[in-house]
Amino acid sequence: MVNHLFRKQNSVLSAAAVLMTAVLISRLLGLLRDRFLASYFFDPASAGQLDVYFAAFRLPDIVFQLLVVGALSAAFIPVFTRYLLKDKEEAWHVASTVISLGIAGFLILAGIIFWLAAPLSRLIAPGFSPAELELMIQITRWLLLAQLSFLVSNFFTGILQSQQHFIVPALSPIVYNLGIILGIWLLSSTMGIFGPVAGVILGAFLHLIVQLPLLKATGFRFVWSFDWRHPGVRRIGRLMLPRTVALAVSQIELTVAVFIATGLPAGSLAIFYFAQHLNSLPVGLFGATIGQAALPTLSQDAQRDDSLLKFKQLLIDSLNQVLYLSLPAGMILLVLRLPAVRLAFGARTFPWEATLLTGRAVALFAISVFAQSAVQILVRGFYALGNTRTPFILGTLAVLANVALSFNLVYRADLGVLGLALAISLASFLHLGLLFWALSRKLNGFGWETFWLPVVKMTAATLLTGLALYLPFRWFDRYIFNTTKTLGLVGLSVVTGLIGLLVYVGLSYLFKIREVNHFTSLFKKLRRFYYEPITAP
């Protein structure tokens, strides 16, 4: 079993399959976590506390996004991969230095956040009462502990994924969510809202330690180093700077969402996050996983002068694969939004009005699932080419559009929390269009046969699948399943979803969409998983 956990995944699709499986488990656990939160904290007396809990993540998450996500996605993996191809010891030195500098930077930023938590919380959440603000300040300070574990753990993930190890890093989010669930279940009765906070800290620690055995097996040994003058470290710094600034800009839209939602009725911010978490299931399952799996290979191809055509083909293949999966996923989420909300969050303390509002927000998110997923691939295409400036500029334009739309849709159109969801979807369409236009120009366009024709076929298949989903969904809901019971909801969702999937796969063969053959082949490989030779780490 250990050998299977330590094996490499040497193709994008096999790596993506591992990530998809782990992400699916993790996101389902995340929905179970949210159901626990709704069950314990969404009653009229404590719905405000749940808003505070979600708002308190804002400042610690900003620190994490700026120090880790920018470095990993845009700079660390491409540069680290380049050194791995030449000299492993030098690669270890670069990794140790980046982690050491990251910890030092975190301690400085965390100290500032800890000291200024009160005024910053008042700035972010002006709609909170004094008691809610005080609670937000306390939770924010505790959550900084979790971010330190996340910082180190995510660099470990980057080191392992650069060497085509995806299974063990994919387990980390699973144990993270398990930690939070344990915190809610075991501690909420005595610690209140600080029960899930303790669970976050425990989950972040588990996220780190689960990767240590494989990391040791690869030969990596962390040594404190502040060799910031090293060429590799300086290149990472140069590459991550535009991405970090871009992430800082992207944090504006998330912070604006908190700013606006805290001024809406109690529970609005929780409903917004619940809907976003359902939306993130297909986006994380398809866009993020294939993007993560493709980045090391894209980075290697981009480093070779004779591989630009190979790079372009891999990018198109990855984009087609993401669209092939995310288009029907968005349609399924759109049609089955209410059963999904009821199954995910339908605790006794979660009222029917909140269920309907969450379902409407999910629908507005669902229409842009394919756009949010495709952005993950296009952005990583730029990063693999060493270009972080263009996605920064285009991302900034999308963020500014999101912020402007949020204020207008919430206040002028009086859509409330639904305005925040619609603004994110509209901004995602803009972001996708801008990235595609820029990358298409750089790569001399995407051909009709290799890209546009498959997209037209996928879109047609998705629309027909939506019709095939809706009609039996309404019929089963009215005549077959008793949806006042959980078992009836599960039956309605499973049967309708299977019908939709079968129709989509059948249409894929009918329209000769070649991606269906890729995934059929992948499933056959997964069946032989335990019988294939093990690749040594």
Mean pLDDT along residues 344-370: 91
Instruction: Give the model's pLDDT for residue 536.
Output: 37
List CB contacts of 503: < 8 A, sequence separation 6 or more: 464, 465, 468, 469
What is the percentage of the chain residues whose pLDDT exceeds 90? 47
DSSP result, 289-326: HHHHHHHHHHHHHHHSGGGHHHHHHHHHHHHHHHHHHH
The pTM score is 0.83
Instruction: Give the model's pLDDT for residue 139.
Output: 96
8 A C-beta contact, residue 267 and residue 42: yes
Q: What are the residue boundaries of the structural domains of the chain, listed by start?
A: 2-446
Output the CA–CA distances (angstroms, integers) from residue 505 to 75, 287, 322, 501, in the order listed.
38, 20, 15, 6
Instruction: Give the model's pLDDT for residue 532.
Output: 47
Helix (H) or strand (E) holding 426: helix 417-442
Instruction: Give the model's pLDDT for residue 312.
Output: 81
List CB contacts of 352: < 8 A, sequence separation 6 or more: none
**Residues 325, 528: Cα–Cα separation, whole Å:** 23
Of 396, 292, 227, the C-alpha closest to 78 is 292
Question: Alpha carbon 111 to chain centroid distance?
Answer: 27
**pLDDT tens digits for range 414-440:** 999 999 999 999 999 999 999 999 998
pLDDT band at 5; cut points 50, 70, 90: very low
**Residues 72, 423: Cα–Cα separation, whole Å:** 28
pLDDT at 537 over 50: no
* DSSP percent split of the chain into helix, strand, coil, nearest 5: 85, 0, 15
**pLDDT tens digits for range 465-516:** 999 999 999 999 888 888 888 888 889 999 999 999 999 999 999 999 988 8
Locate all alpha helices (DSSP H) within 163-267, ordered by sequence: 167-191, 194-209, 212-217, 231-261
Instruction: Give the model's pLDDT for residue 112.
Output: 93
Residue 38 carries which side chain, given as an amino acid letter? A
Output the CA–CA distances (angstroms, integers) from residue 164 to 13, 77, 222, 285, 297, in the order listed.
12, 11, 20, 18, 9
**pLDDT tens digits for range 27-37:** 889 889 999 99
**pLDDT tens digits for range 170-208:** 888 899 999 999 999 999 989 999 999 999 999 999 999
Task: Copy the structure tokens of residue 457.
Answer: 């076929």
Mean pLDDT of the chain: 85
Instruction: Give the model's pLDDT for residue 534.
Output: 41
Round the CA-based radius of gyration of the chain to a whole number and report it: 23
Residue 148 carries which side chain, given as an amino acid letter? L
Instruction: Give the model's pLDDT for residue 307.
Output: 56
**Residues 448, 471: Cα–Cα separation, whole Å:** 33
DSSP label of 181: H
Output the CA–CA distances (angstroms, integers) from residue 318 to 268, 295, 387, in the order listed.
36, 10, 19
Is the C-alpha dihedral spanning 18, 19, 22, 23 positive or negative? negative
Instruction: Give the model's pLDDT for residue 3.
Output: 46
pLDDT band at 250; cut points 50, 70, 90: confident
Instruction: Give the model's pLDDT for residue 300.
Output: 60
**Residues 135, 130: Cα–Cα separation, whole Å:** 9
**pLDDT tens digits for range 99-110:** 999 899 889 989
